[in-house]
Amino acid sequence: MNFIKKHKLTTFIIIIYIAVIIVLYFLYKIFMGSNGLPVYGDRLDGIDAVTITDEQKTNLVNKIKENNNVITVREPHLSGRTYNITIIVADSMNRDEAKGLANLVTESLNADQNNYYDVQVFINKKYNCTLVATGYADEEGVFTSDVVVKFEEDLSKDKDVLGYGLTNTNAKDYNAKQQETITTDGEVVLYGFTKDKVGESTCSIKIVRNQAKNAESKESASKETEINSITGENFPIIGYKRKGSQGYTWTKDR
């Protein structure tokens, strides 16, 4: 006790130092509890015995690309014990056919790999042939101003698009025209045509324009409106198969 009384400052510093060490230790245990172990802990035990090889990935990509409605396939990759693959398909592929591509992923894995990994398949559709119309329209969908109709994307910059055109007849025409402005009243249908390596697509959009309607109060009676020609099934769709299971669960079916 005499030492403490004689060395109060030194004793105080030692106590503070010990307290700081204790606090730092508990913070370390909280934030570094894994003690340097892998992020996935022991959840990846045994993965070396069921490694998905680069050859398997390459063969899978090539197999999927054999389908004439597939635009591209991104390289498969692993996230922990989940095997992920993304497939981009053309306008011409329907949902049922798209879902069938997931079976190719399962078939590319052996029995042990299917029992070890979850599989997740992302399938998106590339809508090259999508027309968009913009202008002022009333609640009934009648345009009360000039209407600009164009392809949704700049197809001249898309390397996958081999031809495109926009016309007011349904006769196929790849004239490289991407935009049309409707300036007269009445009903008109515009047609878009695109083609890529998997085939050709046609899209159309109907415009009804009556500038005189509600013209005296266009701002209040009409509002800026955009409509598009997409009428097909919704994409993307995502299929998920748990390890050891036989089939996929799809987002749009849940």
| CATH number reported for the structural domain that contains residue 51 in this entry | 3.30.300.30
Please indicate, yes or no, whether residues 217 and 204 belong to a single structural domain of this protein: yes
Domain membership of residue 197 (yes or no) is yes
- For residue 70, what pLDDT is reported? 87
With respect to residue 121, please indicate whether it lies within any of the assigned structural domains.
Answer: yes
Do 104 and 164 lie in one domain? The reply is no
Give the position of tokens 């083609």.
Answer: 195
Render pLDDT for 207-221 as a digit per residue (tens, 0 to 9).
Answer: 999 987 655 544 556
Which DSSP category does 20 fall into? H
d(CA 66, CA 192): 27
Residues 72 and 160 in one domain: no
Domain containing 175 — which CATH number?
2.60.40
pLDDT 10s digits, 155-175: 999 888 999 999 998 889 999
Say if residue 121 is in the same domain as residue 174: no
Return d(Cα 170, Cα 167) in angstroms, integer: 7
Question: Alpha-carbon distance 134 to 148, whole Å?
Answer: 5
Instruction: Kindly report, residue by residue over 40-76, the tens digit of the pLDDT.
Output: 555 666 678 889 999 999 999 999 999 988 888 988 9
- Report the alpha-carbon distance of residue 210 to residue 234 in Å, rounded: 32
- Are 189 and 143 in a shared domain? yes
Q: Which two tokens stand for residue 23?
A: 């606090």
Cα–Cα dist 9/128, whole Å: 78
Looking at the structure, tell me whether residues 94 and 157 fall in a common domain: no
Indicate whether 239 and 122 sit together in one domain: yes
CA-only gyration radius of the chain, Å: 31
- Is residue 83, in this structure, part of any structural domain at all? yes
The total of other beta-carbon atoms located within 10 Å of residue 76's CB is 21
Quickly count helices (H) and strands (E) in the chain: 6, 13
Residue 152 has pLDDT above 80, yes or no: yes
pLDDT of residue 254: 40
- Does residue 41 lie in a domain region? no
| Per-residue model confidence as pLDDT tens digits over 68-90 | 888 889 889 988 889 999 999 88
Whether residue 121 is found in the same domain as residue 247: yes
Domain count, the chain: 3
**pLDDT score recorded for residue 177:** 95
Task: Note the pLDDT of residue 233.
Answer: 62
Together in a domain, 145 and 121? no
Dist. CA 197–CA 70, nearest whole Å: 9
Query: Token pair of 143, please?
Result: 């345009």
Together in a domain, 217 and 146: yes
> What is the domain extent for residue 18?
2-31
pTM score: 0.58
Would you say residue 37 lies in a domain? Answer: no
In terms of domains, do 112 and 71 share one?
yes
> Which residues, listed in sequence order, are joined to residue 230 by a DSSP beta bridge?
none
Same domain membership, residue 137 and residue 97: no
Supply the DSSP symbol for 89: E
Pairing of β 131-137 and β 161-167: unpaired
